[in-house]
Chains A and B, each alone.
Chain A
C-alpha cells in the first residue's frame, strides 16, 4: 500500500511539474499549429537561469520568475526566426535548441550547478507550512499551486479577444489576417508564453532536485508531446479548459507509467526510448484502428 501511495504521490508531483511542459507543447502544437522544438533548450535555460540566481543569493521565487522571463525571450526569438526571417518553424526550433545548449553552458559557467546548499521555493513554502523539504506533500502542494495559477490564467487568456486571435491564428491564418489581426505578433506572443512555461518547469525541477544540468532538457519536447497525446486520447476534451487539464492529466499518466516501469526494474537509460515508443504507439494506434475499420484517413501531417 505504501509503495502504491509513494508511486502515486511521486507521479502526481512530477505530472504537475511536467504538466507545465505539456501545456507549453499544447499551446504551440495544438493552439498555434507551430511545431516548436525550442522546448529542450528553454527547459534547461530555465534550470540554468534559476540555478545561477540562487547561487548568487537571489530569492528563489525571483529565480523562477527570471527563468520564465528568459524562456519567454527564447520562445519569442524562435517565432521571430520563423515569422520575420522566414525559417521553417521546425528548423527555427532546432537551431534555437542547439544554440541554447551553448548559451546554457555560458550561463552556468560549466555543465552543472549544485543547489543543495541554497534555499529553494520548497524550503520557503515548507517553512511556512511547517513541512520538511523532501516531504512529497510539500512538493505536490508547490507544484499544484503553480499549475493552478498557470492553468487559470491561461483559461482566462485564451478566452480574451486577444487570446481568441491566437487560437484563430492556429486554425486559419488567412482568415485572421483578413479580419485585421497580425498573425506574426500572435505567433511570437504564443510561442513566447509556451517557452516561458517550459522554462518555469525547468526552474522548479532544478530547485526540487537540487541541481541544474546542461543536459536536463534533452527529450523534453517528446515528454510534452507524449503527455498531450495521452491526455487527448483518454479524455477527448473539446473546450480550452478541458484541453489544458488533459495536458496535465496526460503528464501525470505518463509519469505514472514511467515510474512504475522504473520500479519494475527498467534501466533508467531506456527511459527515452520507451517515451519515443509511447508517442509512436499513441499516434499510430488511432490510424491503425481506422485502417481496420476501413474509415477515411487524413493524409499524414508534415510538420
Chain B
C-alpha cells in the first residue's frame, strides 16, 4: 500500500495539551499515517484516544508540538486552518458547528461552495447557483431543495446535519473529515444521514477519514480501519483483513494491542472529547 503516493501524510505527530501543568495530556504520541487517494478510513478508539485531536491537527485548528502534516507532498503543518480549508470538507458531531443558523440554506451553501476560493464582489447567490443547490439537496429526499430561503436555525438537527454534509462536499474536498457526525442524531435520522454520507462518498469518490463509535459501522464501511488508544495508532487494518473480522475479534485485537480490555461501552462513551 505504501508504494502508491500518499495524498495526505501525517508524520511523527505529537500533541500535548496543558503542557507542564498537572493536567498535562498527551493527546497524540508520535502518530504516523499515510492516506491514499480514495481511501475510506474508519477510526475507532476509546475516550481520549486522540481521534478528534488527529483530525484537528490535520485540519489545522492547532499545530502539533512535533511532526509534519503534508498534503500532495506540500508541508502544511503550520498553515492556518482557513488556508488549509481548500483541501478539507469536515462534518462535526454537533450540526450547529458546521452550519450558520442565522443564514438561510442557500446562503450556507453559497458560502460553502467557495471553500478554498477567493470570495469576491460578485453576488453570492444567482440563478445558476440556486439550481446547483437544488440539485445537491434533491438526493437527500428531505424536500430542502424547495426551502432554500429557510433559516438553517429553524431546521431539525437531522436536516441541519444533512446541510452540513452537503456543505462539506458541494465543492469536492481532497479529504472528507467526519467526526462522529451521526452521534448526536436519533437512531433513525442517524441512519438516514449515514446512508447519505455513503452515497456522496461513493458518487464523488471521496477520500474519507471517519471517526465513529459504532464498531459495526467501522467494520462494515470503508477500506481501512484504524484503532487509536492513548494517542497512538494501535491497530491498522486493510480491507481484506477487516472484512474477516467480527466485533468480538476487534475487541480481542484491542486487548492484544493495548494490553487492556475494551468494552463496547468504553467506545460508546467516547463522545465530546477534544
Contacts and interface: CB of A to CB of B under 8 A. Distances in A.
B210 interface: no
Interface string B119-136: 111111100000000000
B196 interface: no
Interface stretch (B14-22, B102-110, B212-220): B102-110
Interface in B115-167: 115-117, 119-125, 167
Contact of A168 (B83, B103, B123): B103
Interface string A150-176: 000000010111111101101110111
A102 B137 CA distance: 56
B67 interface: no
A285 interface: no
A179 interface: yes
Nearest to B83: A180
A181 interface: yes
B81 interface: yes
Interface residues of A, number: 23
Given A161-B110, A161-B124, A167 B103 contact: yes
A160 B100 CA distance: 17
A179 B111 contact: yes
Given A161-B110, A180-B115, A180-B116, A175 B100 contact: yes
Given A167-B103, A171-B100, A171-B101, A178 B85 contact: yes
A176 B112 CA distance: 9
Interface string A42-74: 000000000000000000000000000000000
Contacts of B85: 177-181
A6 interface: no
A174 B97 contact: yes
A172 B110 CA distance: 15
Contacts of B96: 172
A160 B98 contact: no
Given A164-B111, A167-B103, A167-B107, A178 B98 contact: yes
Given A172-B101, A178-B59, A161 B121 contact: yes
A38 interface: no
B103 A179 contact: no
B86 interface: yes
A171 B119 contact: no
Contacts of B125: 159
Nearest to A180: B85
B46 interface: no
A178 B90 contact: yes
Most B-side CB within 10 Å, residue of A159, A165, A177 = A177
Contacts of A209: none
A164 B123 CA distance: 9
A183 B81 CA distance: 11
Contacts of B120: 160-162
A159 B123 CA distance: 6
A159 B167 contact: no
A171 B102 contact: yes
B208 interface: no
Nearest to B116: A180
A165 B111 contact: yes
Contact of B81 (A159, A164, A168, A178): A178
Contacts of B123: 159-161
A127 B80 CA distance: 55
A182 interface: yes
B235 interface: no
Nearest to B118: A161
A201 B101 CA distance: 32
Contact of A183 (B82, B103, B167): B82
B267 interface: no
A161 B119 contact: yes
A165 B112 CA distance: 10
Nearest to A179: B115
Nearest to A182: B82
Nearest to B167: A179
A159 B59 CA distance: 28
Given A159-B125, A163-B124, A179 B112 contact: yes
Nearest to B91: A178
B229 to A, nearest CB: 27
B169 interface: no
Contacts of A175: 97-100
A177 B124 contact: no
Contacts of B251: none
Interface in A120-171: 157, 159-165, 167-168, 170-171
Contacts of A178: 59, 81-82, 85, 88, 90, 98
Contacts of A157: 121
Q: What are the 5 A-B residue pairs with the smallest beta carbon separation, nearest first?
A: A180-B85, A171-B100, A161-B119, A164-B124, A172-B100
Interface of A: 157, 159-165, 167-168, 170-172, 174-183
7 contacts: A160-B120, A167-B102, A172-B101, A178-B81, A178-B85, A178-B90, A181-B119
Interface of B: 59, 80-83, 85-86, 88, 90, 96-103, 107, 110-112, 114-117, 119-125, 167
